[in-house]
């Protein structure tokens, strides 16, 4: 078995101590898992790479019958220029950014409070409420579109930012995930705080939330991504051009004269670019949330 060495200095004597640590062996199962993961990654990267290449082609090369990774006329930014000229990309990006951020913040507050109550407080109807939350997870969102639209219409919120934000702040799945995590926090910590005279709200704010940073970060990222990608509800609830989100706005600039492959791929890349940046910055939190907090099983 291979051995790796670490050198540690001893302050008292000034000498160094060699620590031998066994290296992890590559077993057959581990090699197979890495191979399968790499194969799946390649399968995902091929369409993404093709979309990226197509976005930098001219429309003539993109619509040509012959498939080619390297266009005969070379790469160009024409598709991106056309998208920026045809639509208000900065405004739509800002609309998506602040509505997604607002949805994420409100969802975290509501979901965390509900999850903590379900995890720690005994009250009448708790089991019924838990069943309702679990049942709500399996309800397809399009089923709720018409009732939500009439509700926003009755509240006179259609064509406002609140019409986009409010219907998306209820996430039963996130409540379930947070409750599952709160259940794992030792009760002894809260019992000690109660003996010191801490209130329920103080325990929640100063003990539970700091211990829940990994799951809160993971939930925030997943909610933000879902809100950013949401097309159907913002499309239904807004008609004002100044309120369009990026996915909705990009759909309004498509030409009626046939399919423009390069422009479509450029629009898709512009919509996905912020999410790619979010993942690159927070990939550790996403992976940790999926691996250790039960998100993979919900």
Confidence check: pLDDT of 297 > 50: no
Q: How many domains does the chain have?
A: 1
Within a domain: 264: yes
Could you list the residue range(s) of the whole structural domain that residue 162 is in?
84-297
CA distance 56 to 44: 20
HSE-up of residue 214 (Cα within 13 Å, Cβ side): 16
Within a domain: 187: yes
pTM > 0.95: no
DSSP bridge pairs for 17: 8
Within a domain: 1: no
Q: Which residues contact 171 (CB under 8 A, 6 or more apart)?
A: 107, 111, 223
CA distance 222 to 145: 21
CATH number where 91 lies: 1.10.3720.10
Alpha helices by DSSP H, listed for the chain, are 28-55, 59-62, 78-86, 89-120, 126-137, 145-154, 161-165, 172-182, 187-195, 200-203, 209-211, 213-229, 232-237, 246-251, 261-292
Within a domain: 92: yes
CA distance 74 to 57: 7
Q: What mean pLDDT value characterizes the chain?
A: 81
Within a domain: 286: yes
Q: Across 104-113, 176-185, 203-212, 267-276, which has the greatest mean pLDDT?
A: 104-113
pLDDT given at position 292: 54
CB atoms within 10 A of CB 188: 8
Closest by CA to 234, choosing from 140, 168, 135, is 168
Rounded mean pLDDT, 19-48: 80
Within a domain: 59: no
pLDDT-wise least confident of 6-10, 50-54, 245-249: 6-10
């Amino acid at each position: 078995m291979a051995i790796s060495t670490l050198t540690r200095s001893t302050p008292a004597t000034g000498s160094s101590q060699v620590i031998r640590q066994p290296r992890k062996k590559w077993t057959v199962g581990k090699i197979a898992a890495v191979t399968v993961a790499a194969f799946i990654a390649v399968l995902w990267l091929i369409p993404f790479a093709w979309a990226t290449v197509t976005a930098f082609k001219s429309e003539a090369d993109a619509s040509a019958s012959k498939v080619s990774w390297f266009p005969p006329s070379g790469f160009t930014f024409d598709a991106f220029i056309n998208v920026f000229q045809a639509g208000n990309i900065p405004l739509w990006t800002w609309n998506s950014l602040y509505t997604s951020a607002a949805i994420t913040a409100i969802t975290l507050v509501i979901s965390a409070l509900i999850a903590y109550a379900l995890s720690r407080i005994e009250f009448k109807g708790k089991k019924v409420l838990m069943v309702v939350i679990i049942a709500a997870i399996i309800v397809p969102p399009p089923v709720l579109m018409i009732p939500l639209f009439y509700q926003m219409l009755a509240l006179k919120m259609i064509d406002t930012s609140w019409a986009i934000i409010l219907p998306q702040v209820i996430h039963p799945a996130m409540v379930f995930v947070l409750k599952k995590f709160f259940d794992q926090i030792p009760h002894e910590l809260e019992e000690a705080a109660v003996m010191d005279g801490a209130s329920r709200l103080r325990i929640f704010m100063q003990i539970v939330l700091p211990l829940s940073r990994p799951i809160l970060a993971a939930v925030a990222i997943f909610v933000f991504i879902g809100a950013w990608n949401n097309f159907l509800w913002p499309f239904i609830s807004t008609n004002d051009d100044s309120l369009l989100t990026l996915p909705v706005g990009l759909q309004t600039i498509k030409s009626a004269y046939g399919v423009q492959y390069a422009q479509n791929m450029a629009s898709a890349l512009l919509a996905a670019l912020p999410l790619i940046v979010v993942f690159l910055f927070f990939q550790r939190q996403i992976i940790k949330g999926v691996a250790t907090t039960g998100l993979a099983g919900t």
